[in-house]
Structure 1
Amino acid sequence: MDRHDRERRAIEAARLTRRLTDRGVVGVALTWVDNSGVVRTKAVPVQRLERTAEWGVGASPVFDAFTPDDTIVAGRYAGGPIGDLRLLPDLNRVTVLAAQPGWAWAPVDRYTRGGEPHPQDSRGALHRAVAKLSADGLTVKAAVEIEWALRLDRKEFVPATRGPAYGFTRVVERSDYLAELLTALWDQDVAVEQIHPEYASGQFEVSVAAEDPVGAADTFVLVRETIRAVSLRHGLRASFSPKVDAAGVGNGGHVHLSVWQDGVNLHGGGDGPCAMTTTAEGFAAGILERLPALLAIGAPSVASYLRLVPGQWAAPFQACGHENRETALRFVTGSTGEERTAPNLEVKVFDQSANPYLCLAGLLFAGMAGARSGARLPPLVDVDPSSLTEQQRAERGIRMLPTSLAEATDALEADALLTEAFGAELVATIADVHRAEIARFADASPEDIAAALRWAF
């Protein structure tokens, strides 16, 4: 970042400050997501935004080495008291927070003191992935589904609704809450596509419109923190953990992706499976091939593997299918007449203990590798893989995905392509943080794990 960049940012921030002040904003929360999936923040008075946009806010690189319970790992490349970074807000994403009067929000990119991108910055990794995609003449539209479980604000977990799964009764019971949430998201320019009760007790889901990958990750953070804020205003707590209750089905964080070229959706109009083009098929095949390693990024908590079990629509099989919700990759083609816009790829095995910037970067890196190599998908699976015998699954080439965070972490460190794409320092730090969490819960019961991580994310 040179002097001209800093001057331009300062001028833009000065104009923005006046608009924010007119809307009653007194503080701006600056957020990033760490390698444990926790949203961390520093904040500045609105009058300080101009200086912050120009020079950033200081922050230790130690945050790269935090675990979900705030233990600091002494890792190979992070975790010590030495060093300093600068947090630079993305001024294009500054948003007045509808459920937090007096506050605005902005995601940050993390830079070194010398103005270079921090090599372990996850948002920076996603920027790099998008740039490589663009160099191939491609763009991606993405969105992340958000599920959460509402609890009455008491010590024990008591679901905040009594109605049945997917039942309108739940909407009736919490209609004021849901209306305020929708209003807040509208006021923040979030395009909500649907909101509904989910399967687990007290569980809801919201889906938003697809956008560019960095925007999709930013929106994920904004929506989830808005849900948290609205919940607290109603005397409730929202849990986004992959396993809120050891006996329940847990919260997912399904990622939807579609690959585009020159304004055309490549997931339709081709000769491949589900009418995919060769490029879209290669992109999906690249993700499928690397799913064991990608799980270390998309399902990065020990609690994730309490959720990834057969029979709970968590899709723990390395397989793909057309509208098959028990395969890790689900191809969504939409209704007849939507063939130009609706088709997309859903990655069902990720959850919200994940850093969304790392998730989307990993999917882009893996997808690009598959598209460049001309990878092809195996035959689509049209049954629930858990209904097949082990021999039948083997004959179809269907394998179980890693069943533990340790197994997934080993797969990530062994993946040369992802290590090069993310950078050896970042992959090593992710692995170090994961192994600290694995050790922390080595002797814990599922109930203990669910309770310890219920409010971490």
Structure 2
Amino acid sequence: MTEIPKIETAEDAARYIADRDLPFVKVGVFDVDGVMRGKYMARDKFLSSLEKGFGFCDVVLGWDSNDQLYDNVALTGWHTAYPDAEIRVVPSSMRLIPFEDDLPLFLGEFAGPHEAACPRSTLKRVLARAADQGFAVKSAVEFEFFLFEETPHSVREKRYKDLRNITPGFYGYSMLRSTVHADFYHELLGTARDMDFELEGLHTETGPGVLEAAIRVDDALAAADKAALFKTFTKVLAQQRGWMATFMAKWSRDWPGQSGHIHCSLTQDGKGVFHDPSKPHGISDIMRWWIGGQQALMPELLAMVACTVNSYTRLIPGFWAPTDATWGIENRTCALRAIPGSEKSQRVEYRIAAADINPYIALAAAIGSGLWGVENRIEPDPAIQGNSYEKKHAAKRQLPRTLWDAAQRLKASKPARALFGDAFVEHYAATREWEEREFRKAITDWEMERYFEII
């Protein structure tokens, strides 16, 4: 097991690098889509950057996940000539990459004018709002992801058709499958432990080659870091062995989508405030208002959680994904699942999220809406009992059905602007509009099969 050094300050990081005479380190930032962008940096440059920050072309906030330039954002573009953005190094984020001879990896975050659109900084602003009220937030994310016996070359040569999963059949919670591929499970578990995004559970889900990983709970900002790093390095480990991992919300019409559920609880002075044994199901007033805020704002903030065109193919009845802003006690057909427990374990699961989330932005939405509910003492609807899919819900609880509609709801949301800032809402909503416009250029297989001959 690689020992994770205790790094808190810039001085700690500089001392660690100097003591080991390391010629290079790695630095990375997460963009709007949750894609990690970074580079190797020479020691002298990095040591200077610890104090002063460093410049990184701001195109990483001005292009999509396919490196195509947005034409509808004000923050950056040809009109600003794509200058360098200031990046602030986060010394305490240091990890050692075990398969690069324990090379240090540091996270950065955008500073200066670009901080307003930075995913990590947006979450930090929400958490500062919580701190101003005397609260801290604990969070954990769990991801489902499919694994394929494919490479980046082979999937393109096949045009993403007839892909071979690492295993066939359903096989949920399979001891057979996990034991046959134990070497990969151990490698993933070990890397997660060594790089400080430790898993508390890893198992097969129902479907060919699909796994579910539950990341251990932590303070919300650290939980977002861990979730984002988990997605990145799971893909790395898979590709190193000639496999590929996908975190798409839904890659096949034949199988359920892939979730990225978010668990949150609120603490005050180190004690959980969601639990009140004198109340039904132990749900305190604060927890009830938190649920009320998440329910009320979910339709307005959905673009921050269901962030791709593909996200909306998952939000259909009967596929373990909610379709309206509903909540229930231990009810997995609802968008919000209240989980009763002890003072330490009672929490709310934000089940609308899929595996394609940007963890920083999705957590900002889940936590921000909960805080807004507490601040305004928002009462939720009565808890849903039974199958939520079979019930008719109020029109105000209906979720947007497309990414474009979700972006319009976000732009028009006064609470969103108060929680995340006008600059973030304008920039982020524009990026989602771009994503939908790019999709409109595509001619799908469904259209060809449906219209080519008969129309």
Please give the TM-score of this superposition, normalised by the length of structure 2. 0.88
2:40 to 37, 40, 43: 43
Amino acid at match of 1:121: C
TM superposition shift of 1:172: 2.5
**C-alpha distance in 1 between matches for 2:381 and 2:332:** 17
Match of 1:146 in 2: 143
**2:353 corresponds to 1:353:** no
Match of 1:306 in 2: 313
TM superposition shift of 1:320: 0.1
Runs (5+) with no aligned partner, structure 1 = 1-7, 450-457
- The answer to whether the 8 Å contact 1:35/1:65 transfers is no
Match of 1:406 in 2: 404
Match of 1:13 in 2: 13
1:232-260 Cα shifts (integer Å, max 9, x gaps): 22221111111222332222111100011
**C-alpha distance in 2 between matches for 1:298 and 1:99:** 32
- The answer to whether the 8 Å contact 1:146/1:252 transfers is yes
Identity of aligned residues (%): 26
Amino acid at match of 1:165: Y
Amino acid at match of 1:11: E
- The answer to whether the 8 Å contact 1:161/1:173 transfers is no
**2:81 corresponds to 1:84:** no
TM superposition shift of 1:210: 1.2
User: Per the alignment, do residues 447 and 69 of structure 1 end up closer, same or farther by CA in structure 2, a change over 3 Å counting?
Assistant: farther
User: Per the alignment, do residues 98 and 244 of structure 1 end up closer, same or farther by CA in structure 2, a change over 3 Å counting?
Assistant: farther
**C-alpha distance in 2 between matches for 1:117 and 1:17:** 28
RMSD, matched Cα: 2.3
**C-alpha distance in 1 between matches for 2:411 and 2:186:** 45
Amino acid at match of 1:91: P
2:427 to 422, 426, 429: 429
Match of 2:370 in 1: 367
1:149-188 Cα shifts (integer Å, max 9, x gaps): 1011243421011253312222123111111111112222
1:341 to 323, 340, 344: 344
TM superposition shift of 1:379: 0.9
1:164 to 167, 170, 188: 170
- Aligned with 1:69: secondary structure? coil
**C-alpha distance in 2 between matches for 1:446 and 1:305:** 16
Aligned counterparts, 1:177-326, within 5 A: 177-272=184-279, 274-326=281-333
- The answer to whether the 8 Å contact 1:272/1:281 transfers is no
Query: Bigger shift: 352-361 or 408-417?
Result: 352-361
- Aligned with 1:196: secondary structure? strand
TM superposition shift of 1:58: 0.9
**C-alpha distance in 2 between matches for 1:194 and 1:423:** 36
TM superposition shift of 1:271: 4.8
User: Per the alignment, do residues 408 and 274 of structure 1 end up closer, same or farther by CA in structure 2, a change over 3 Å counting?
Assistant: farther
**C-alpha distance in 2 between matches for 1:93 and 1:192:** 18
TM superposition shift of 1:286: 0.6
- The answer to whether the 8 Å contact 1:110/1:117 transfers is yes
- The answer to whether the 8 Å contact 2:141/2:262 transfers is yes
User: Per the alignment, do residues 32 and 101 of structure 1 end up closer, same or farther by CA in structure 2, a change over 3 Å counting?
Assistant: same
- Aligned with 1:95: secondary structure? strand
**C-alpha distance in 2 between matches for 1:418 and 1:36:** 19
User: Per the alignment, do residues 426 and 85 of structure 1 end up closer, same or farther by CA in structure 2, a change over 3 Å counting?
Assistant: same
- The answer to whether the 8 Å contact 2:204/2:210 transfers is yes
- Aligned with 2:92: secondary structure? helix
1:100-138 Cα shifts (integer Å, max 9, x gaps): 4453322212113xxx77221221121111111111011
**2:389 corresponds to 1:386:** yes
- The answer to whether the 8 Å contact 1:145/1:208 transfers is yes
Match of 1:417 in 2: 415
Query: Bigger shift: 270-279 or 364-373?
Result: 270-279
- The answer to whether the 8 Å contact 1:406/1:435 transfers is yes
Query: Bigger shift: 356-365 or 430-439?
Result: 356-365
Amino acid at match of 1:236: W
**C-alpha distance in 2 between matches for 1:230 and 1:76:** 35
TM superposition shift of 1:355: 1.9
**C-alpha distance in 2 between matches for 1:358 and 1:330:** 20
Amino acid at match of 2:256: V
TM superposition shift of 1:9: 5.7
**C-alpha distance in 1 between matches for 2:332 and 2:445:** 26
Match of 2:63 in 1: 66
**C-alpha distance in 1 between matches for 2:249 and 2:444:** 12
Amino acid at match of 1:41: G
**C-alpha distance in 1 between matches for 2:360 and 2:328:** 26
Q: Which structure's relative contact order is higher, taking Cα pairs within 8 Å and 6+ residues apart?
A: 1
Aligned counterparts, 1:91-110, within 5 A: 91-101=91-101, 103-110=103-110
Query: Bigger shift: 349-358 or 277-286?
Result: 349-358
Match of 1:4 in 2: none
- The answer to whether the 8 Å contact 1:270/1:278 transfers is no
TM superposition shift of 1:199: 1.9
- Aligned with 2:364: secondary structure? helix
User: Per the alignment, do residues 104 and 445 of structure 1 end up closer, same or farther by CA in structure 2, a change over 3 Å counting?
Assistant: farther
- The answer to whether the 8 Å contact 1:9/1:54 transfers is no
1:403-434 Cα shifts (integer Å, max 9, x gaps): 11112111111111211322212211111111
Query: Bigger shift: 355-364 or 425-434?
Result: 355-364
Amino acid at match of 1:249: P
Match of 1:125 in 2: 122
User: Per the alignment, do residues 73 and 189 of structure 1 end up closer, same or farther by CA in structure 2, a change over 3 Å counting?
Assistant: closer
**C-alpha distance in 2 between matches for 1:447 and 1:288:** 36
Query: Bigger shift: 182-191 or 323-332?
Result: 182-191
**C-alpha distance in 2 between matches for 1:297 and 1:229:** 25
**C-alpha distance in 1 between matches for 2:397 and 2:289:** 20
